[in-house]
Structure 1
Amino acid sequence: MSEPRPSPLPRVVVGVSGSPGSLTALARAAGEARSRGAELWPVLAWEPPDTGLTARRPPVAAVPTGEWELLAAQRLRDALGEVFGRPDTGIPGQALVVRGAPGPALVRTADRDGDLLVLGAGGRGRLRRALWPSVGRYCLAHAGCPVLAVPPSPLAAALTALHRRNALRLRLDTGHLEHEFDTAPPDA
Structure 2
Amino acid sequence: MSGSGSAATPRVVVGVSGSVGSLTALRRAADEARLRGAELWPVLAWQPPGGDPAARRGPGVSLMHGEWQRLARERLVAVLSDVFGETGPGMWMYALVAHGTPGQALVEIADREDDIMVVGAGRRSLWHRACCRSVTRFCLAHAACPVLAVPPSPLETELAAVHRRNSWRLRLDTRHLAQETVRPEGA
Runs ≥4 residues deviating over 6 A = none
C-alpha change, 1:130 and 1:86, in structure 2 (3 Å) is farther
Segments of 5+ residues of structure 1 without an aligned counterpart are none
How far the C-alpha of 1:159 sits from its partner, in A, is 1.8
Alignment of 1:134-145 (within 5 A): 134-145=134-145
Measured in 2, the distance between the counterparts of 1:113 and 1:76 equals 26
Tell me the amino acid that sits aligned with residue 97 of structure 2: V
Matched to 1:78, the amino acid is: A
Partner of 1:156: 156
Distance of 2:48 and 2:89 partners within structure 1: 27
- Residue of structure 1 equivalent to 2:185: none
Note if contact 1:78-1:87 (Cα within 8 Å) is conserved in structure 2.
no
TM-score in terms of structure 1 length? 0.83
Unaligned runs of 5+ in 2: 183-187
Matches within 5 A, 1:31-42: 31-42=31-42
Counterpart residue number, 1:46 = 46
Q: CA deviation at 1:120?
A: 0.6
The equivalent residue for 1:167 is 167
Paired residue for 1:74? 74
Instruction: State the shift of 1:183 in Å.
Output: 8.7
How far off is 1:37 after superposition? 0.2
Structure 2 residue aligned with 1:9: 9
Structure 1 residue 87: Cα displacement: 8.8
Aligned length: 175
Question: Identity of counterpart residues, as a percentage?
Answer: 59
**Per the alignment, in what secondary structure is the counterpart of residue 182 of structure 1?**
coil
Q: How far apart are the structure 1 equivalents of 2:98 and 2:87?
A: 17
For residues 81-160 of structure 1, the aligned pairs below 5 Å read 81-86=81-86, 88-160=88-160
Superposed CA offset, 1:14-48 (max 9, x none): 00011110011001100000010000000011112
Tell me if structure 2 keeps the 8 A contact 1:15–1:42: yes
CA drift of 1:74 comes to 0.7
Map 1:49-68 to 2 at 5 A. 49-51=49-51, 55=54, 64-68=64-68
- Bigger radius of gyration: 2
Cα 1:9–1:124, aligned 2, differ >3 Å: closer, same or farther? Answer: same
Is the contact made by 1:14 and 1:25 (CA closer than 8 Å) also made in structure 2? yes
